[in-house]
A and B are shown apart, each in its own frame.
Chain A
Amino acid sequence: MRFDTPATTNPIDQLKIVGKPVDRIDGPLKTTGTAPYAYERHDVVPNQAYGYVVGSAIAKGRIASIDLSTAQRAPGFLAIVTADNAGRLGRGRFNTARLLGGPDIEHYHQAIALVVAETFEQARAAAQLVRVDYVRTDGMFDLAAAKDSWTPAAGLGAPADPGVGDFAGAFPTAPIQLDAAYTTPDHSHAMMEPHASIAAWEGDSLTVWTSNQMINWTVGDLAQTLGIAREKVRLISPFIGGGFGGKLFLRADALLAALGARAARRPVKVALPRPLMANNTTHRPATIQRIRIGATRDGKITAIGHESWSGDLPGGGPENAVQQTRLLYAGANRMTATRLAILDLPEGNAMRAPGEAPGLMALEIAMDEMAEKLGLDPIEFRVRNDTQVDPENPGRPFSQRQLIECLRTGAERFGWNKRNAQPGRLRDGRWLTGMGVAAGLRNNLLTTSAARVRLDHRGVVTVETDMTDIGTGSYTIIAQTAAEMMGVPLDKVVVRLGDSSFPVSAGSGGQWGANNSTAGVYAACVKLREAVAQKLGFNSADAVFGDGQVRSGNRTVSLAEAAGESGLVAEDAIEYGDLGKQYQQSTFVAHFVEVGVDVATGETHIRRMLAVCAAGRILNPKSARSQVIGAMTMGVGAALMEQLAVDKRRGFFVNHDLAGYEVPVHADIPHQEVIFLDETDPISSPMKAKGVGELGLCGVGAAVANAIYNATGIRVRDYPITLDKLLAGLPEA
């Protein structure tokens, strides 16, 4: 189905099932521990052996020699895979560093061997007996030092230095100016389930049970790396214990399981041990950002400039932290620039709201600082600089943009008028209290997504698509979509996901999953409805689907009967025309945060949080709310504690476990409120939906930072805002 004109009324608009806060249909499996995660699939293939990954002990250099003899004599030893015996390996389209290193080492904990043994403990013990001699070479591990050797770099599909007007001329002449630098640290996805895979060969065909967000990308990259045809690779990933972008790509677990299984001539399972994850896999790269804003005295932005520096391994990409600055506020003279330095730290790549998260952490502090300079309320300042068109290309309107409504609704609900504009004035016992606000924007990305729908003789609708559910609720919203379209209750819908033998979907990433994958299911259901109508001799335009039946004129037939013994199948994809070019499609949020800062110790406690989102039709308010509160929690982590500590001499992330890399716990998170504005966006898809999974993270960190400033009068521009950055500025306790 081609989607190239705005949606008109369609069966989804009935909203009998779509738009309802339906419980997650996979919930009971999760809460009873029966959802089969990759590493636990003991039943899918017999005779599984265990692989254990050996990571490089140096950041850069080469393996001089590797002694496997002791490991090979260890109890239970079956096989070992190294670059020496793995055969020629290609590199996946989405990988920067090789997933099996050696003799050259590109980063710390790059996998250099997989030891396979009968049991997990034996594999681990044998892996610890692999002796490696390295020759270290110098590397660059310090972004601040590498910053000056940058090259211009383009983010995904964006030019390196986009801009309009004359920023260089307009900024210095602006009556009110801000010029400030901000930094964000490296972040780890730190998802609950580590990367894990079981691989089994049958002849030259490979099946991998894994934990992966993008089935189709990963099939391609696994085939390419192994040098086999993609038709020979089957990937199965029905349940994923969190990904946050860390499982978008083929990673070492899947590749090494495949190589290990080939070497051991048995199925092999591999999970990445937690201490390996921070350095072996990808992370969100640190940024250094400079923001300049010039405005008239009445608060109209005349010049806005945003530059961002990040680093990556040779051949890698930048953290595109400036992209939202191109769209969020008006202003005639604009400059944005993305700079990439070579760093020999592990590979940087996408993490939830890539670009937006660190970019808005900076931009939205800058807006707060600018509002203060102007003597304006930070909400009013944002309202004055709203734009309903793409500021770089005013002929391109936003399909929907209710940012002002988000801000105003939030202000009302949160009691923003109780905020004291003078920072550092409010105290509640040992706490200095304050409120902060920040805006966020996340684009709505359109990608082809396909599904297959079957109707059987019991009237059951089965949906098959390689879409994944990374804890987001994909199973549920897809079931809701199919139920709405086919006029059946939810318990007559079966959803099967995450299998490369199913039609290729958008996958889970970039908050594009919900809208595109349900639109794909919509397309397939439209086809199935036609097939039903045709079979019954109905005119498909006036066939009405409801209550498990299809009705036309005075004829009513149950779907079960319509399907008959052989059933009916339809497959289709949603494919997008030019609406994404004609319109800027984005989602919007206003975040409100109240904090208390301990006047003695500088510890920050979040007291209240509110997010108001405008994100098109909300397909399921319950799962959408879960996405947003999870993202808000992640934002609190980024604001207050998350930081991969870089050892700049040895070139690795030191705090590489969950004791050292702190993410928020329950005690850090207060009551969180989420409001979705009533909105539909017919430009986005027949679902009129967008996404919220990344939107929820956009701006949270800055809202926390601004609240801390309001509470204490201390402006911290370097994340995370740990207490050591506040101590010197706090009053005598």
Chain B
Amino acid sequence: MRSFTYERASSPAEAAAAAMRTEGARFIAGGTNLLDLMKLEIETPTHLIDVNGLALDKIETTTEGGLRIGALVRNTDLAADERVRRDYGLLSRALLAGASGQLRNKATTAGNLLQRTRCPYFYDTNQPCNKRQPGSGCAAIGGFTRPLAVIGTSDACIATHPSDMAVAMRALDATVETVRSDGTVRGIPIAEFHRLPGDTPHIETTLVPGELITAVTLPKPVGGKHIYRKVRDRASYAFALVSVGAIVQRDGTGRVALGGVAHRPWRVEAADAEMPRGAKAVAERLLAGARPTDENAFKLPLVERTLGAVLAEAKG
């Protein structure tokens, strides 16, 4: 870990401004991802801006009948919130499928959205990695790729976004609220928030430098059955091989998003329209153009089969 300076921000706008003032500054929330990466010198911020004291830890009902989740709400609290459990069960279930109790106590809503990939080569600073060190190459391609992405990949990077929560947020059509360093605020639809790797896998979101997440809002509840199914190599405390987040209405319509397959939570609105026709039709649309490796090609049938089980569960 490199040495760094540290400050506590006094307001969201001030935090965003401070982030622009100091080069190499980063926000720190729960620290469960950033600190690990700093110890390994995968991230080397020179200045940390602690946003924990910014009172962004409330969950409020919006005037549109939705929910506004503060950026600093802990994953544990969010999963346990009565309104979330009642109206956005998918979110609660996705959160509880992630990490461990201790980690969820620290992990925040914004930090979870911004957690970085679990590609093992990204974690080993001896290996070339375009995401860690732009232009150095990608050690994963042609190597151990079993956990990596099958769709939306590029020749520069085939990593996945590891978050469970983000999959639910994507299916729920969340909006990420931010404040920029000039004090202006905006709402970024979750569909536009995470980027595909392209030639710049190190740029993972559409946030601009210094931009601080203040909240994530959810539109008013859409009803239906909320199912989150995470498939993995062990029963708990493992990242998804694939995950399926679905909201299924009585008439069989609904929406679905995937985790573990792409550089961002994966949703194709056109695939939602296929839901009444069953898993095969949905999976075909969702995964059209997939470019798996030999080691992770199993994720394609796995998605279809898991989706089938989810749709059957929704009916049952």
Interface set of A (CB-CB < 8 Å, partner B): 57-58, 75, 121, 124-125, 128, 275, 430, 598, 600-603, 605, 640-641, 645-647, 649-650, 654-657, 659-660, 662, 664-668, 722-724, 727-728, 730, 733
Contacts and interface: CB of A to CB of B under 8 A. Distances in A.
A57 B127 CA distance: 8
A733 B234 contact: no
A647 B237 CA distance: 24
B3 interface: yes
B298 A640 contact: no
Contacts of A665: 234-237
Contacts of A640: 233-234
B222 interface: no
A124 B1 contact: yes
A292 B241 CA distance: 36
- Secondary structure at chain A's binding surface: helix, strand, loop or mixed? loop
Given A121-B1, A275-B40, A654-B120, A649 B237 contact: no
Contacts of A647: 139, 143-144
Interface of B is mostly: loop
Contacts of A275: 40, 123-124
Given A646-B144, A650-B139, A727-B305, 4 more contacts: A647-B144, A654-B144, A662-B234, A723-B233
B53 interface: no
B233 A430 contact: no
Contacts of B41: 128
Contacts of A125: 1-3
A575 to B, nearest CB: 46
B312 interface: yes
Interface in B225-268: 229, 231-239, 241
B220 to A, nearest CB: 32
B146 to A, nearest CB: 7
Nearest to A722: B233
Contacts of B144: 645-647, 654-655
A703 B237 CA distance: 25
A586 to B, nearest CB: 33
Nearest to A55: B126
Interface in B124-149: 124, 126-127, 139, 142-144, 146
B52 interface: no
Nearest to A601: B231
Interface in B1-57: 1-3, 39-41
A723 B3 CA distance: 44
Interface in B208-232: 229, 231-232
B301 interface: yes
Q: Which of B39, B120, B238, B239 has the most CB of A within 10 A?
A: B120
B288 interface: no
B236 A666 contact: yes
A245 B39 CA distance: 29
12 contacts: A124-B1, A125-B1, A275-B40, A640-B234, A647-B143, A649-B142, A656-B124, A660-B123, A662-B238, A668-B234, A668-B235, A728-B301
Contacts of A733: 305, 308-309, 312
A598 B120 CA distance: 28
B231 A654 contact: no
A124 B41 CA distance: 10
A650 B302 contact: no
